[in-house]
């Protein structure tokens, strides 16, 4: 049954201002309180991103809430090994600086969430992705972004842990072969909040010149 045509209520200036403020305070969180997230709120947050845009309405996202302590421990070990290798790959003059950076909150975060892309979802019947199949993965990233802002609206932070061996993660979580790992996320209430990136505060990089990011043709 088709829903009757309707339009959203106009978004007023206050809403737009608050939305821009939400965008400004979104950060990759690495320092978490151990305070748990209510199970019903976690479910609400995950469901809030299930209406994210996706190529051909394929909805390829798959969320795995990692509760098993042995699995979480294995992920922490995976990160430590991968991070040691990443440190070695840095130039000599930045190795020690790299080692001082806090790049994950895996041990403190109350929630671990692995986000996958189903490489052949039934939904959408392949529409829109024949020439650009990678748009499936882009769709999952859009859902992650939507989750990030929904969580922040509830004062919950996310941290994206990318320094991992994805094949080991797949084996640890025993996921289907046709799922590809897109993100491993830490979730929890932040110990502190900042409107500037941690890597800028830690002098790993300077502030971004946004004029270098926009082009016209």
Determine the pLDDT at residue 93.
77
Model confidence pLDDT, tens digit, residues 36-82: 999 999 999 999 999 999 999 999 999 999 999 999 999 999 999 99
Q: Identify the pLDDT of residue 103.
A: 84
Cα 116 from Cα 180, distance rounded (Å): 5
40-76: burial string, b at 16+ Cβ within 10 Å, e else: eebeebbebbeebebbbebbbbbbbebeeeebbebbe
10-residue mean pLDDT series, the chain (217 residues) = 74 94 93 95 95 96 97 96 88 83 91 97 92 96 97 96 97 98 97 87 86 91
The model carries a pTM of 0.91
pLDDT value at residue 92: 76
Contact 202, 101 (CB under 8 A): yes
Q: Where does 35-204 sit in CATH, by number?
A: 3.40.109.10
Quote helix, strand, coil % in the chain, to nearest 5. Answer: 45, 15, 40
Encoded tokens for 133: 């199949």
What pLDDT, on a 0 to 100 scale, did the predictor assign at position 69? 96
| 157 strand-pairing partners | 188
Instruction: Identify whether the C-beta of residue 59 lies closer than 8 Å to the C-beta of residue 214.
Output: no
- Supply the pLDDT for residue 4: 67
Q: What is the pLDDT of residue 154?
A: 96
**What integer pLDDT is reported at residue 56 of this predicted model?**
95
- CA proximity to 29, closest of 137, 108, 125: 108
């Amino acid at each position: 049954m088709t829903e009757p045509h309707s339009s959203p209520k106009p978004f007023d200036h206050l809403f737009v201002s608050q939305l821009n403020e939400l965008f400004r305070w979104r950060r990759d969180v690495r320092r978490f309180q151990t305070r748990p997230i209510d199970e019903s709120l976690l479910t609400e947050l995950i469901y809030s991103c299930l209406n994210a845009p996706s190529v051909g309405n394929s909805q390829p996202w798959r969320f795995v809430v990692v509760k098993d302590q042995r699995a979480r421990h294995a992920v922490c070990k995976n990160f430590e090994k991968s991070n040691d290798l990443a440190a070695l790959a840095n130039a000599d003059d930045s190795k020690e600086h790299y080692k001082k950076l806090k790049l994950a909150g895996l041990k403190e975060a109350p929630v671990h969430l692995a986000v996958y892309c189903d490489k052949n979802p039934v939904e959408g019947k392949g529409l829109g992705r024949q020439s650009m199949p990678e748009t499936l993965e882009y769709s999952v990233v859009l859902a992650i972004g939507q989750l990030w802002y929904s969580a922040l609206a509830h004062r919950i932070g996310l941290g994206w842990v990318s320094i991992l061996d994805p094949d080991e993660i797949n084996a640890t979580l025993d996921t289907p072969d046709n799922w590809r790992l897109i993100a491993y996320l830490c979730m929890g209430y932040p110990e502190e909040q900042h409107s500037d990136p941690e890597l800028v505060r830690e002098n790993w990089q300077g502030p971004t010149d946004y004029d270098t990011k926009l082009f016209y043709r």
